[in-house]
Amino acid sequence: MKKKEVISYDGGSMGPSDSVQLLDNCEALILNGGAQYKIKIEERKILTFWKNIEILGVWNWRKKYPYVKPKYEPMLDGYSWELKLRDRNGRAKYCTGYESFPRNFKKLIYELDDLFDSKIEF
């Protein structure tokens, strides 16, 4: 049985956050720079996204970044982010971060921008 896919990212600092979320029926909700809109996504783009997530090693990322307590208290106006993924087989990943990012994070943002035709700023 096919599981409900989840592709959700939210990130930002002081201003409005950037958010992308896959909805039902290949639709997506995008919040970008204070604007909100919906788009349709082609099935092939979603399948390509999952293939690239595998290549980037996202399934092996830690739950929280930084994963060790920083030596100094972090600034309160830094960039925080949250990623939620669940593929069609039910494999899931939930990660958050504050001013710390896993390897290939920029490539993940590129893949999200490509999938959602968005421009996530971080």
> For residue range 76-91, what is the model confidence (pLDDT) as tens digits?
678 999 999 999 999 9
> For residue range 25-44, what is the model confidence (pLDDT) as tens digits?
999 999 987 889 999 999 99
CA 8 – CA 30 distance, rounded (Å): 10
Q: Quick check: 82 and 12 in contact, CB under 8 A?
A: no
Q: Say whether the peptide bond before residue 70 is cis (omega within 30 degrees of 0).
A: no
Q: What is the pTM of this model?
A: 0.91
